[in-house]
């Protein structure tokens, strides 16, 4: 059995001891060394080359965020952040996830043994997932290398030289394709058909490019899409009544998508000061007949930033997001994403009426569902029902709430994340006729779990790299 070497970074000697003990409960992991600040962490990373790092967010001399950025410049070692629940710690944790941290956990309460045990279990779970992803990516890289070697060793007959460019493209591109799922007919649904392995091909299919990737699946890429893209703590004791409304008063909204910000180019001095004076505190008024629902987990904050900053302010649909996160952190996530996205991004609250051009993030510790009011509007409802798939909020819970609304064109998206949350209800919706289904492909996922589960259920219509999802969504909605 492989033993993975861990570097533990925290300014508190007591916390370093607690984290070390929690890690070494699992025989797969051994703490190789510890560091008390960011500068020391950078030095020991260079010297020892650990397999995984746990990094405190707030430390003297150099904090965890700045240390992470420096480490990410020269290494791909997975880093798991340990965050306090104070406001500054939560903000910096969200920024760390954007900067490349694999995941995070909140620091344990040293006065509650049960809390320490729960945090320890979550930490080891994330470390194991990180090691599995390192292994998966190494295997994928090796597979691509073998394909390139095979291509270089292939002798092309003179009669085929004119086709060289086409052959080269087909042989170099990684193989990771998804068989386009069958679009269920009303007869199939009445008969309870679960979908055949081979898709039904329309008599006059649209002309598309097919990206051939690693698992033998196919994802279509319409060249016009890319052209159009250029144009275009704990839950509250008193439940929902204690949640405070977020209000922001700014000026009018633009109709153009602002340029994408490359977070990797930000310096350790801090984040760029983006101009958000154009944003209003409310979404676009008026009826809508479309809705976008997104689910994400590990790697989600970074993926959501990439996605939301490419959606235009005049998007004629609300966007509802479930990101697996503890309470309090989702508010910091919403505030952070609101500085990047042309959309108005808020943490969802019970009773909110959905509006176009607004993204709603499910609060940690609460399930989020969509309901229809007596006057025909769509409203958000929060609940503390039991966990689904081990999560609250759950993507499956959100997707399930969309089943009755056949008058809406529903667009479903699954981004990077561990497990299978969201896949089961995406399948249900697909069988009910919702065919605008998207999943992030293996190439860009931090963890190819939730998207893979949906692909295996044959309910993904568009399997795409992260950067291509937003333009395709805009095309589907507009």
The residues assigned a catalytic role are 297, 324, 421
Spatial strand order in the sheet of 344-347 = 344-347, 358-361, 319-323, 290-296, 409-414, 437-440, 462-464
Query: Counting beta carbons within 10 angstroms of the beta carbon of residue 83, is it exposed (0 to 12), middle (13 to 18) or buried (19 or more)?
Result: buried
Indicate the helix (H) or strand (E) that contains 414: strand 409-414
Within a 10 A sphere around the Cβ of 345, how many other Cβ atoms? 24
User: What are the structure tokens assigned to 275, written together?
Assistant: 């101009």
Cα distance between residue 173 and residue 338, in whole Å: 36
* Closest alpha carbon to 336 in 38, 58, 88: 88
| Tokens at 12, concatenated | 């508190």
Phi and psi of 18, rounded to 5°? -60, -50
Token digits for 234? 């704990």
Instruction: Check if the beta carbon of residue 365 is closer than 8 Å to that of residue 357.
Output: no
Question: For the chain, what percentages of helix, strand and coil (3-state, to nearest 5) are there?
Answer: 35, 20, 45
Q: For residue 353, list its beta bridge partners.
A: 379
Distances, alpha carbon 181 to alpha carbons 55, 414, 456, in Å: 42, 16, 10
CB-count burial class (<10 Å; 0-12, 13-18, 19+) for 416: buried
List CB contacts of 477: < 8 A, sequence separation 6 or more: 290, 292, 315, 316, 317, 409, 411
- Taking each helix axis as running N to C, give the angle between helix 164-172 and helix 113-152, from 0 to 180 degrees, rounded to the nearest 10: 160
What count of Cα atoms within 13 Å lies in the side-chain half-sphere of residue 50? Answer: 27
CB 355 within 8 A of CB 315: no
Answer whether 176's CB lies under 8 Å from 443's CB: yes
Distance in angstroms (rounded) separating the CA atoms of residues 290 and 296: 20
User: How buried is residue 314: exposed, middle or buried, by Cβ count under 10 Å (0-12/13-18/19+)?
Assistant: middle
For residues 132 and 137, give the distance between their C-alpha atoms in angstroms, rounded to a whole number.
9
Contact 57, 63 (CB under 8 A): yes
């Amino acid at each position: 059995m492989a033993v993975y070497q861990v570097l533990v970074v925290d300014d508190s000697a007591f916390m370093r001891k607690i984290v070390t003990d929690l890690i070494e409960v699992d025989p797969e992991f051994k703490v190789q060394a510890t560091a008390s600040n960011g500068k020391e962490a950078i030095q020991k990373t260079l010297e020892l080359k650990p397999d995984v790092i746990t990094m405190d967010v707030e430390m003297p001399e150099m904090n965890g965020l700045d240390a992470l950025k420096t480490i990410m410049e020269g290494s791909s070692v997975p880093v798991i952040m340990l965050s306090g629940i104070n406001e500054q710690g939560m903000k910096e944790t969200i920024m760390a996830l954007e900067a490349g941290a694999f995941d995070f956990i909140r620091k344990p309460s040293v006065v509650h043994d049960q809390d320490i045990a729960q945090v320890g279990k979550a930490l080891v779970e994330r470390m194991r997932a990180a090691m599995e992803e390192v292994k998966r990516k190494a295997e994928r890289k090796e597979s691509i290398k073998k394909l390139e070697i095979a291509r270089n060793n292939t002798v092309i007959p003179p009669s085929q030289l004119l086709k060289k460019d086409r052959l080269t493209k087909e042989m170099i591109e990684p193989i990771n394709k998804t068989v386009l799922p069958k679009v269920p007919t009303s007869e199939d649904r009445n008969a309870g058909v679960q979908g055949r392995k081979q898709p039904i091909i329309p008599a006059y299919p649209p002309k598309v490019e097919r990206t051939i990737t690693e698992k033998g699946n196919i994802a279509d890429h319409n060249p016009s899409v890319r052209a159009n893209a250029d144009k275009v703590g704990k839950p509250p004791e008193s439940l929902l009544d204690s949640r405070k409304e977020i209000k922001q008063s700014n000026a009018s909204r633009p109709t153009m998508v602002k340029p994408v910000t490359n977070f990797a180019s930000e310096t350790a001095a801090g984040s760029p000061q983006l101009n958000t004076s154009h944003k209003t505190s409310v979404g676009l008024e008026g009826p809508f007949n479309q809705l976008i629902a997104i689910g994400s987990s590990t790697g989600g904050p970074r993926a959501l930033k990439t996605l939301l900053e490419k959606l235009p302010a005049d998007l004629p649909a609300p966007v509802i997001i479930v990101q697996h996160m503890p309470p309090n952190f989702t508010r910091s996530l919403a505030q952070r994403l609101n500085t990047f996205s042309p959309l108005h991004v808020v943490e969802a609250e019970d009773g909110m009426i959905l509006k176009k051009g607004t993204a709603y993030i499910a609060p940690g510790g609460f399930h989020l569902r969509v309901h229809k009011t007596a006057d025909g509007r769509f409203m958000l409802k929060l609940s503390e029902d039991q966990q689904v798939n081990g999560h609250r909020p759950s993507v499956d819970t959100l997707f399930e709430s969309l089943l009755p609304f056949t008058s809406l064109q529903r667009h479903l998206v699954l981004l990077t994340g561990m497990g299978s949350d969201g896949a089961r209800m995406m399948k249900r919706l697909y069988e009910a006729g919702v065919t605008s289904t998207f999943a992030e492909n293996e190439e860009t996922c931090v963890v190819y779990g939730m998207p893979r589960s949906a692909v295996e259920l044959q309910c993904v219509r568009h399997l795409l790299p992260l950067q291509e999802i937003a333009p395709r969504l805009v095309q589907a909605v507009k």
